[in-house]
């Protein structure tokens, strides 16, 4: 996080949770989506936004 370490309280993170697949969707055998468009998550803490995605418990 070095590039943003001097920008404390001025950086935000956005994650679009869309078409969630069981495996990485970068491979052709990832399977059909287990959840479609859940929404958009935003946070000033990158760890918190990743935890929020995980907490959906898909």
When divided into structural domains, the chain yields a total of: 1
pLDDT of residue 57: 61
Q: What is the pLDDT of residues 7-43, one digit of tens each?
A: 777 889 999 988 888 888 788 887 888 888 889 999 9
Q: What are phi and psi of 50, to 5 degrees?
A: -65, -40
Q: What is the pTM of this model?
A: 0.65
Q: Which of 23, 41, 39, 43 is nearest to 31 (CA)?
A: 23
**Rounded Cα distance, 3 and 14, in Å:** 17
Q: 21 lies in which domain range?
A: 2-55
């Amino acid at each position: 996080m070095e590039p943003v370490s001097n920008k404390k309280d001025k950086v935000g993170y956005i994650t679009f949770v869309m078409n969630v697949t069981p495996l990485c969707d970068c491979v052709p055998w990832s399977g059909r989506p287990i959840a479609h468009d859940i929404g958009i998550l935003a946070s000033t803490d990158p760890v918190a936004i990743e935890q929020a995605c995980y907490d959906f418990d898909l």
